[in-house]
Structure 1
Amino acid sequence: MKVHGAVLSTATQRVLATLYEKDLDFEFLPVDLRSGAHKQEPFLSLNPFGQVPAFEDGDLKLFESRAITQYIVHTYADKGNQLIYQEAKKMAIMAVWMEAEAHQFDPAASKLVWELVFKPLFGREVDGAVVEENEAKLGKVLDIYEARLAQSKYLGGDSFSLADLHHLPNIHCLMGTQSKKLFDSRPKVSAWCADILARPAWCKVLAMRNN
């Protein structure tokens, strides 16, 4: 298995975390985003949209991080941590919260990560109005998460799954910013964040990022 990506990319981190959770061997091939390698061949033959990551398993080529993570957990179900449920109703509930991450949590969280983490990194000015708007949006999502986490230990059910894992990169980024207060002020969400951020597989992703 090969992962073509960038260690600072939240989407790439999603795939790496899944591979570590499944205890699978893989080769990481860095893509130089600064030089625009992701917008040129040969990378475009792997992802025509020119975004990291891209993934290869034998002759199979995939892009879109959430699709890649689902392929990994279903194909290598007998390896490492399960990350999915076998029973149809439980799987459906987990799928609901995976969709919530992609369509409710991620849009606001990603905008905040861009403004509060990456803009300062690139020496660009933070847009306070965008931050304020998206903190309000994210707060509403986290209110719903707080209610959900009062019912089950994890978003998808009683065990850690892809529904939780997909949140890890953006939560980690925001914990180093003013938006940390959104998580800290909600006890169930705060405990959930502390739990999932401490997972050994996620710590391995951070170790790659910090090398």
Structure 2
Amino acid sequence: MVFKLYGLPMSTNTTRAMICLHEKEVDFELVPVNVFAAEHKQPPFLSKNPFGFIPVLEDGDLTLFESRAITAYVAEKFKETEPDLIRHKDAKEAALVKVWTEVESHYYEPAVSPIIYEYFVAPFQGKEPDKSVIDTNVEKLKTVLDVYEAKLSSTKYLAGDFYSLADLSHVSETHYLMQTPCASMINELPHVKAWWEDISSRPAFNKVVGGMSFGQNH
């Protein structure tokens, strides 16, 4: 049975799930959800995710929401298919994948997401970007990226010398960040830059990047 993924290809959370599905070469149907018409807040969608956010994954009678939970499920279900995104054969490596996936969720994404919103979503909605919000989160992101630079000076990827969910979780939001003036924050850190060039060149990401556009240039 083909998976159904409800979301939008411009959404960082939807594309996080899409990249994981492509990494595992899993067939899926992308079912568009018109968030601009608040379709995600209507009863049909709320029956799938009562919190009213995309994406949602359906695998037969199983319905999942939260993009990181979806990627963890896909990586576990297809763990024997390369790449092993969760390092299921090595408990220490698996633990490090979880650590750095948590870092992305609790430190990286909270700094990057407001920057993306101000540069992309606000203009899309006819608003001016709030420079104070951008500046505040740039400072937060600098702290995070300094940690990443130190970590990536000793390993090729965040959890070790292997690509994992920890890296995959960063791809969508960093793609948008790199289209803003804040791209210099990545480019000025040699190990972070090399890491980004590596993870953004993977075929799975290339399959989704074409849909990641708000129709704007920055």
| Match 1:92 to one of 89, 95, 107 | 95
Contact 1:117–1:177 (CA<8 Å) still a contact in 2?
Answer: no
Q: Structure 2 CA distance, aligned partners of 1:101 and 1:34?
A: 27
- Counterpart of 1:200, as a letter, is P
- Counterpart of 1:41, as a letter, is P
Aligned with 1:34: secondary structure?
A: helix
% identical equivalent positions: 45
Contact 1:149–1:188 (CA<8 Å) still a contact in 2?
Answer: yes
Deviations 1:163-201 (A, max 9, x none): 000001110001010110110111000110111111110
1:198 corresponds to: 201
1:82 corresponds to: 84
- Counterpart of 2:45, as a letter, is F
Contact 1:32–1:38 (CA<8 Å) still a contact in 2?
Answer: yes
| Match 1:113 to one of 100, 112, 116 | 116
Q: What TM-score does the superposition give when structure 1 sets the normalisation length?
A: 0.97
Q: Structure 2 CA distance, aligned partners of 1:110 and 1:186?
A: 20
* Root mean square deviation, CA, Å: 1.0
1:52 corresponds to: 54
Deviations 1:129-150 (A, max 9, x none): 1111100100100000000001
Q: Structure 1 CA distance, aligned partners of 2:17 and 2:80?
A: 18
Q: What TM-score does the superposition give when structure 2 sets the normalisation length?
A: 0.94
Query: In the alignment, does 2:173 pair up with 1:170?
Result: yes
Segments of 5+ residues of structure 1 without an aligned counterpart are none
Q: How far off its partner does 1:14 sit? A: 0.3
Aligned with 2:118: secondary structure?
A: helix
Q: How far off its partner does 1:94 sit? A: 1.3
Query: In the alignment, does 2:195 pair up with 1:186?
Result: no
Query: In the alignment, does 2:156 pair up with 1:153?
Result: yes
Q: How far off its partner does 1:80 sit? A: 4.0
| Match 1:139 to one of 142, 149, 153 | 142
Q: How far off its partner does 1:208 sit? A: 4.0
Deviations 1:54-79 (A, max 9, x none): 11001000000000000000011122
Segment of structure 1 superposing worse, 144-153 or 80-89: 80-89
- Counterpart of 2:129, as a letter, is V
Query: In the alignment, does 2:19 pair up with 1:31?
Result: no
Q: Structure 2 CA distance, aligned partners of 1:106 and 1:2?
A: 25
Deviations 1:93-113 (A, max 9, x none): 111100000001010100110
Segments of 5+ residues of structure 2 without an aligned counterpart are 214-218
Q: Number of residue pairs matched?
A: 210
Segment of structure 1 superposing worse, 114-123 or 49-58: 114-123
Runs of 4+ in 1 over 3 A off after TM superposition: none
Query: In the alignment, does 2:51 pair up with 1:19?
Result: no
